Structure 1
Amino acid sequence: MKRLVRTFAVVTTVSLMSVISVLAADTGMGMSPDNSTNKDQCLLVAQTCKDSVDSLQQRIDRLHREISKGNSVYTNEELRSLEFQLKDAISTMEVLTRGGA
């Protein structure tokens, strides 16, 4: 009887964990790419999001796009953070393409 209860508990736990991961993937971890007025939380707080694997050029493009939304979407502090990330990404791109210095 104990084995049956233990097996049931394990199966229930695994089922709940997989349902939670599927729901998290469906919601996009708080990011809606279709709506241009939403903040890109993946860029702002460095969350691991389902579509956050970008090339360096794609990241630069995303940062340009988000910065262009301006104060209608982001606070001044958030814009400074995005601009800092953009400068960092651009300098990394330059180092990679020019070989340093």
Structure 2
Amino acid sequence: MKKLMVILAATILMASGTAMAANDAKPGHDPKCLKECQMLVKNCDREVDSLPQKISKLKTEIQKGASLYTPDELRTLERNLKESEDLLNNLTYGG
């Protein structure tokens, strides 16, 4: 139970930090950062995705491939997908 609470707290802190970063972003900021923030934080204050929804969205973004994302951005998306899948497996089957 303690492990679950730590994971939940970390997830909430990461989500709020990303939302703050997106709100602080100005048009002159790094385009890569803006693209990532826009992808991750659409209507964040009104909508929270479940872990399976996040995994589905990441898979959809990865499928868009090199036509939309640089190789580094794709690696970041794939890393986020793997972390999300690992978290879901740990929560589902225990770690």
* TM-score normalised to structure 1 length: 0.52
SS at match of 2:66: helix
Aligned-pair Cα RMSD in Å:
2.1
Aligned to 2:43: 50
Q: How does 1:21-40 map to 2 (within 5 A)?
A: none
How many residues align structurally?
Answer: 60
Residue segments in structure 1 that go unaligned for 5+ positions in a row = 1-28, 30-38
- Aligned with residue 90 of structure 1, among 65, 80, 85: 85
Larger Rg: 1
Q: Give the helix-richer structure, 1 or 2.
A: 2
Taking every aligned residue pair, what percent have the same amino acid on both sides?
43
SS at match of 2:43: coil
**Contact (CA 8 Å) 1:60, 1:90: kept in 2 or not?**
yes
* TM-score normalised to structure 2 length: 0.55
